[in-house]
Amino acid sequence: MNVLTPEEKTVTILKDQGVDLVATLPCDRMKKLLPLIDNEFNTLKLTREENGVGICAGYYLGNKRPVMVIQSTGLGNMLNALLSLNVTYQIPLPIIASWRGVYNEKIPAQFPLGRALPDILKASDIDYTVIGSSAEIELLNDVIKDAFTNNRPHVALVLPSVWENSKSAPPPEPKETVSRMCNLELTTKIHPPTISRYQAIKSLVSVLDDEIVVSNIGIPSKELYHAGDRPLNFYMLGSMGLASAIGLGLAMAQHRHVVVIDGDGSLLMNPNVLTQIAALQPSNLTVVAVNNGAYGSTGNQETLACGCIDLELMARGHGLKCTVKAHTGEELVAAYKKFKDENGPGFIDMVVRPVNEPVGEIPLNPVEIKERFMEAVHSQGA
């Protein structure tokens, strides 16, 4: 009788739990696990853990079951996103974290966060389960079930002792970089803006049909609600920088078109998402970067996009090929229709005035937003 290795047990559990996507960042202690995951699952190689929280949230909102497999250091990067997105909206996320800093650790930088993690998670009211040996791997079933049953994040802190003496095959040798050529030619010109963000959003709303829309936090979501509320709108209330990440996860989980109403401040906070979009090339995703050169929800303080950074050039530099600037509602609509009809992903640098429409609050709480949205996504099919 063949005895499964800890890595093989883990893969079996993920399959038994109906996992659709595994988002990963590597750790030396679980280096034999990741190749098995790559071979058996739809995997997403992350560039930053916080970004993975947004992508997995979008994937779940699209009626799928994601899991993250990361090193425990990444939990420090993820904490605000887990609290302001997953906990606030009651979005499940099982996290398998290789727990560093507490067992046979030789890297001093791993000690402070690693040793503090249980207290940090406890203070944050995030459930966690310690897995200290290969015999306890079965506890992953409980971690995943709890996350999806109770709509919350649940962290498995897996000690390196779990993988010790594993008979799994070593990871393959890394691939060598192959010869390739990169060519970027772009001439852009930003004209003085003539319309507000609210006017741009109204123009976009006028041509929406059954698209899924994700709106950036704060006033942009309020403006979208008052310009054209619909169940297929997902209004963000926190987690700045993750609008396009959530949209990417939805585009991966759904066949219909996904529109993200993002902003310059948000994208400058998390440009990693552009790299992830360029790597995956989802043809059903359009990012509308509403660029007012300001942090509109916090008093219109200037961002680096105000006379310093060109968002369209930034998107091209990250690997997106279908990009354009727009300065009027007509240009925005034309660009959106073009990207929707052709293979994307599309990126629209929508230049607007730094003013806010005096609109009221969204009369829905976070869980109501999520449940209404998911019901609409599910009822209208993938």
186-208: pLDDT as tens digits: 888 899 999 999 999 999 999 99
Of 163, 185, 215, which marks where a domain is finished? 163
The string over 185-219, giving b where at least 16 C-beta atoms fall within 10 Å of a residue's C-beta and e elsewhere, is eeeeebeebebbbbbbbbbbbeebeebbbbbbbbb
Residue 116 has pLDDT above 90, yes or no: yes
- On whether both 214 and 299 belong to a single domain, the answer is yes
Establish if 189 belongs to a structural domain.
no
- On whether both 232 and 347 belong to a single domain, the answer is yes
Residue 1 has pLDDT above 70, yes or no: no
Establish if 214 belongs to a structural domain.
yes
Which CATH number do you get for residue 62? Answer: 3.40.50.970
- C-alpha 196/C-alpha 329 separation (Å) is 10
Residue 318 has pLDDT above 90, yes or no: yes
Residue 334 has pLDDT above 80, yes or no: yes
Q: What is the mean pLDDT of residues 48-75?
A: 97
- On whether both 218 and 269 belong to a single domain, the answer is yes
Q: What is the mean pLDDT of residues 248-274?
A: 95
Establish if 246 belongs to a structural domain.
yes
- On whether both 16 and 156 belong to a single domain, the answer is yes
Contact 217, 243 (CB under 8 A): yes
Residue 281 has pLDDT above 70, yes or no: yes
CB atoms within 10 A of CB 19: 21
Of 103, 137, 163, which marks where a domain is finished? 163
Q: What is the mean pLDDT of residues 203-220?
A: 96
- On whether both 153 and 23 belong to a single domain, the answer is yes
- On whether both 244 and 371 belong to a single domain, the answer is yes
Residue 33 has pLDDT above 90, yes or no: yes
Establish if 288 belongs to a structural domain.
yes
* Structural domains counted in the chain: 2
- C-alpha 63/C-alpha 197 separation (Å) is 31
pTM: 0.96
Q: What is the mean pLDDT of residues 330-349?
A: 94
pLDDT of residue 382: 47
- On whether both 112 and 211 belong to a single domain, the answer is no
- On whether both 264 and 321 belong to a single domain, the answer is yes
What is the DSSP pairing of strand 93-98 with strand 153-158?
A: parallel
Q: What is the mean pLDDT of residues 118-132?
A: 98
**Which residue range(s) make up the domain with 66?**
6-163
- On whether both 217 and 288 belong to a single domain, the answer is yes
Q: What is the mean pLDDT of residues 61-82?
A: 97
- On whether both 322 and 229 belong to a single domain, the answer is yes
Of 163, 186, 213, which marks where a domain is finished? 163
Establish if 79 belongs to a structural domain.
yes
- On whether both 156 and 241 belong to a single domain, the answer is no
Establish if 192 belongs to a structural domain.
no
Q: What percent of the chain has pLDDT over 70?
A: 99
Establish if 190 belongs to a structural domain.
no
CB atoms within 10 A of CB 80: 16
